[in-house]
Structure 1
Amino acid sequence: MPTLASPLEAALTPVLALLMFATFLAVPLARLGPALRDGRFIGAILTLNFVVVPAVVWLLTRTDHGLLLAGAPVEAGTRVGIVLVLLAACVDYVIAFTGLAGGARDRLLATAPLLLLVQAALIPLYLPLLVGTESLRLEPGPFVEALIVLLVIPLILAAVVQATRRRSRLSRGIERAGAVGMVPLMMATLLTVVGAQSAKIGSDLATVLIAVPTFILFLIVMLPLGILAGKAFGLDVAGTRALTMSGATRNSLVVLPLALALPEPLNAAALVVVPQTLVELTGMLVYVRAVPRLIR
């Protein structure tokens, strides 16, 4: 139903903002202050996402003797899309999955604005180096918009609800609705992401399938690397679980507008971002079971 693509694309940001609002409602925001002072966790999450992950992406996408993309012709747009989405650390639904895995979601939430700002600064530098297109330039606009719409506004609203819940029946009702609505909101997010791009993906399925093995291998590789990073920085169990989840999840819903805004020769970039979301969410079903068992 390609006629639904445009309305669903317009609905994506509001739906994701609602999902983030529901996620923040479930996090004790009063605990964010101590989390922001956890320098060891902040150092670990920045190192994993902006030193280790770029090295992994470079190894996975090398053209001469890379692990997956070598031996098959890969157009520039496909390579740009793969690198773009894998460089961007997730700042939204990773918080919900971290909670399911028994990780320190409050610490992860506290670092979310920092992760978004750092990736906005570094991805325009990393991307040309990794894809070999020196003339490629990215605008910071989508990152700034994501910071305000997907983090700042939902966070402020959730803080207001939590601060007034003792004396406000409305606030308590909103909290209950947020808890009940988490799964439907995640379903709505997936519907809008897939529905907005499905017609384009169906017309160029070969491009999408090239990228899928890379996304799967990335999830496999990042599990032990996240655990090792947690041990190297001396994090506790909850912190190591949160770090591992952060290293594996990517910011596909934020970089999708970036991919859509790329020049026409790179149109394939947006096509590979959407299947990364589906591969990742399938992988998260494994992660929320495996991480608590491997990190005790």
Structure 2
Amino acid sequence: MPQEPTGLVAGMERHQVAIYLGAMAAGTLFGWAAPAAGPGLEHAINPVLGTLLFVTFLQVPAADLVRSLRSGRFLAAALVVNFVVVPLVVAAMFTFLPADQAVRLGVLLVLLCPCVDYVIVFSGLAGGSSRRLLAATPLLLLAQMLLLPAFLFLFMGSDLGDVVDAGPFLEAFLLLIVIPLALAWLTQAWAARTAAGQHVSDGAGTMMVPLMAATLIAVVASQIPKLSDNLADVARVVPCYVIFLAVMAFAGLAVARLFRLDVPASRAIVFTGATRNSLVVLPLALALPDALAIAAVIVVTQTLIEVIGMVIYVRIVPRLLPTH
């Protein structure tokens, strides 16, 4: 059995929200102080994020993951909140976005794609069913990979609907989901058979918080130097992100009640509806043509707003969905 975290590791887990906020602040300072490091940090994002997801998958035994996939109502609720409710909310806000196509594309990229990484952490902090969310992760990423081009076509027409092709998403699915998940299962099998494997598994489990912090530092520091040239456009999308978080708290609650989920599952649905896939879609935004380069900054801006929003969610979601 995995060991319970103690000492420094337990302290990091208790204070992980503060650590994440500190990581974003550190990334901001580093990005402003050393803008030349930005391109190198961009290349570090995927390896760090893939390692983070490996450690995340490692926390749940393979048998539990497969068993969770049989939770039909939860999976249906997750799909409805992310691919029916969220697009409707985005459509309602779309006409209020800046007219710049690159800005709109950045907003669409990030808001139409559900989170597959730190949503599990924040949902768990609020008493949500992290295991069921974790089991839904491959399905959510596959669904957004298939649906995003169609959504872009509906919102922006054929000119930009094919800017994001399936290739980068297939690469993301392979590097960030399939490989980390396979390695996690292999590590679990090794840990079940040998003391050395258990030692490696326990050691990897202690790296969750530092890896999340490293991912945030790399993302923020690589994009902050680009912010100064686009500050006005960025400022105009901030209210959109704040409104989205406020609306989705109640929209997720309504979907959870519609599907008659228990409290932990309902809290998880609220979180999956509100948290977006900014870390995974950022490489897609970075691959866009130079004329659309601001889209990546728009995506990272959502990350900054969302992590602060998640701090609030961790406090208010248990009040919206009490256990009694």
TM-score, normalised relative to structure 2: 0.84
Give 3-state SS (helix, strand or coil) of 1:135's partner: helix
Question: What does the per-residue CA deviation read over 1:84-137, in whole Å, with 9 as the maximum and x for residues that have no partner?
Answer: 21001111221222222222222212221111111111111111322x332111
**SS in structure 1 at match of 2:159:** coil
Q: Which residue of 2 aligns with 1:6?
A: 39
| C-alpha distance in 1 between matches for 2:186 and 2:141 | 23
Residue in 1 that maps onto 2:225: 199
Q: 2:14 corresponds to which residue?
A: none
Partner of 2:50: 17
Counterpart code for 2:73: R
Aligned Cα root-mean-square deviation (Å): 1.6
Matched, 1:286 2:316: no
Measure, in 1, the Cα distance between the counterparts of 2:196 and 2:232.
50
Aligned to 1:120: 145
Q: Which runs of 5+ in 1 are unaligned?
A: none
Structure 2 Cα separation of the partners of residues 175 and 294 of structure 1: 36
AA in 2 matched with 1:9: E
Counterparts in 2 of 1:41-80, with a 5 A limit? 41-62=74-95, 66=96, 69=97, 73-80=98-105
Percent of counterpart pairs with the same letter?
50
Within the candidate set 198, 213, 221, 1:187 is matched to 213
Stretch moving more, 165-174 or 151-160? 165-174
1:93 matched residue in structure 2: 118
Give the Cα separation in 2 of the matches to 1:49 and 1:190: 23
CA distance in 2, matches of 1:117, 1:246: 15
Find the aligned partners of 2:38 and 2:196 in 1 and give their Cα distance: 35
Any idea what the Cα deviations from partners look like across 1:134-171, whole Å, max 9, x if unmatched? 21112112211111111111112222222232443333
Instruction: Letter of the 2:305 partner, please give it.
Output: V
Structure 1 residue aligned with 2:264: 238
Amino acid at match of 2:37: L
Instruction: Report the counterpart of residue 241 of structure 2 in structure 1.
Output: 215
Query: Is the 1:142–1:255 contact (alpha carbons within 8 Å) kept by the matching residues of 2?
Result: no
The whole-number CA distance in structure 2 between the counterparts of 1:29 and 1:100 is 22
**C-alpha contact 1:29 1:106 (8 A) present in aligned 2:** no
TM-score, normalising length from structure 1? 0.92
Asked whether the 8 Å contact 1:230–1:243 carries over to 2, the reply is yes
Amino acid at match of 2:309: G
Partner residue, 1:270 = 296
1:43-91 per-position Cα deviation (integer Å, ceiling 9, x unaligned): 11111101100000011121xxx4xx3xxx5311111111121001111
Aligned residue pairs: how many? 287
Q: Is the 1:98–1:242 Cα contact (8 Å) retained in structure 2?
A: yes
1:31 corresponds to which letter in structure 2?
D
Relative to structure 1, the CA distance from residue 169 to residue 84 in structure 2 (aligned partners, 3 Å threshold; closer, same or farther) is same
User: Following the alignment from structure 2 to structure 1, what is the Cα–Cα distance between the partners of residues 236 and 133?
Assistant: 32
Partner of 1:174: 200
For structure 2, which runs of at least 5 residues remain unmatched after alignment?
A: 1-33
Q: Deviations over 1:167-198 (max 9, x none)?
A: 43333333333333222111100111011111
Alignment match, 2:68: 35
Q: Could you list the per-position Cα deviations for residues 220-245 of structure 1 after superposition, in whole angstroms to 9, with x for gaps in the alignment?
A: 11011111100001111111111111
Question: Could you give the per-residue CA deviations for residues 180-219 of structure 1, whole angstroms, max 9, x where no partner exists?
Answer: 3222111100111011111111222222211111111111
The answer as to 2:102 corresponding to 1:108 is: no
Out of 87, 111, 133, the residue aligned to residue 157 of structure 2 is 133
User: Quick one: which amino acid aligns to residue 180 of structure 1?
Assistant: T
- Residue in structure 2 matching 1:84, options 85, 109, 112: 109
